[in-house]
Amino acid sequence: MSDFTGITAVVTGGAQGIGRAIADRLAADGADVVVGDLRDPTDLGPNQRWVHLDVTSEESVAALAAECGDAVGVLVNNAGIMFEASIADQTVEQWDTAMAVNLRGPWLMTKALLPRLTADGGAVVNIGSIEGIGSNPLHTAYSASKGGVHGLTAAMAVDLGPMGVRCNAVAPGWIDTALNREYIDRLPNRDQAVAELGRLHPVGHIGDPADVASVVAFLAGPDARFVSGQVVVVDGARTSKLSLPPSLSPEA
């Protein structure tokens, strides 16, 4: 466990899901957490406050930065969106929105907070995805944006390292958030889908938001002082497991 006492941490998209678990974890470890999100979660715990944020808007990002005091020790670029559409059906507007939130957002946030990050030897953690490494069907924009986040992470580590700022990414696999739960709950064969999802993962289950938060806390903290430019996959070994046809699988 890292001690973030006296450190300001900014978490984008921190009102719910993975971002909320990250905000809770950093606050529990002593940080003063600024939760930047489109909407007010209203029930934040101690050491946390909400500031309205739209990561696609330069004005909104600048307004949040102005709320953060002189130094920011941790920036977690977590806000992200996903939609499903074949490349034939996708609109240019959908593509641009995915890029504006998922890829330009982390860049814009880091750019706006840079003077405050360098003031405190800060750490940036971007939330990428295993879909920045592979892809599910109908996710061209999402996968491209997350692959971009991984590339951005390497480039920021190179450029910001000499300024005393480390930058890493976490690439989560299937994490139990409201978004995923809604999707699963809509299925007629929900229980079967849950069981099959578990079997996809060598550890036997999908992840919790807290599983991502603990890795973020490590990467943001002093124990990771020599770790920068990395993408840490948090997926219960899902991407380590090669697929076999059912006729060859010992699990079939």
Question: x/- contact string, 36-55, with ligand NDP (CB under 6 A)?
Answer: -xxx-------------xxx
Q: Does 13 contact ligand NDP by CB under 6 A?
A: yes
Minimum distance from residue 37 beta carbon to ligand NDP (Å): 5
Span from 10-18, 26-34, 185-193, 194-202 in contact with ligand NDP (CB under 6 A): 10-18
With contact defined as beta carbons under 8 Å apart, do 35 and 11 qualify? yes
Binds ligand NDP by CB under 6 A, chosen from 56, 110, 153, 168:
56
CB of 76 to ligand NDP, least distance (A): 10
Residue 127 Cβ vs ligand NDP, minimum distance, rounded to whole Å: 4
Q: Does 200 bind ligand NDP (CB under 6 A)?
A: no
Is 142 a known active-site residue? Answer: yes
Q: Point out which span in 79-87, 110-118, 160-168, 181-189 binds ligand NDP (CB under 6 A).
A: 79-87
Three-class HEC string of the chain: CCCCCCCEEEEECCCCHHHHHHHHHHHHCCCEEEEEECCCCCCCCCCEEEEECCCCCHHHHHHHHHCCCCCCCEEEECCCCCCCCCCCCCCHHHHHHHHHHHHHHHHHHHHHHHHHHHHCCCEEEEECCHHHCCCCCCCHHHHHHHHHHHHHHHHHHHHHHHHCCEEEEEEECCECCHHHHHHHHCCCCHHHHHHHHHHHCCCCCCECHHHHHHHHHHHHCHHHCCCCCCEEEECCCHHHCCCCCHHHCCCC
Residue among 17 and 249 whose Cβ is closer to ligand NDP: 17
If one asks whether residue 29 binds ligand NDP (CB under 6 A), the answer comes out as no
Of 147-186, binders to ligand NDP (CB under 6 A) are 172, 174-175, 177-180
| Active-site residue identified among 4, 142, 174, 218 | 142
| Active site amino acids | 142
* Residue ranges in contact with ligand NDP by CB under 6 A: 12-13, 15-19, 37-39, 53-56, 78-82, 101, 127, 129, 172, 174-175, 177-180
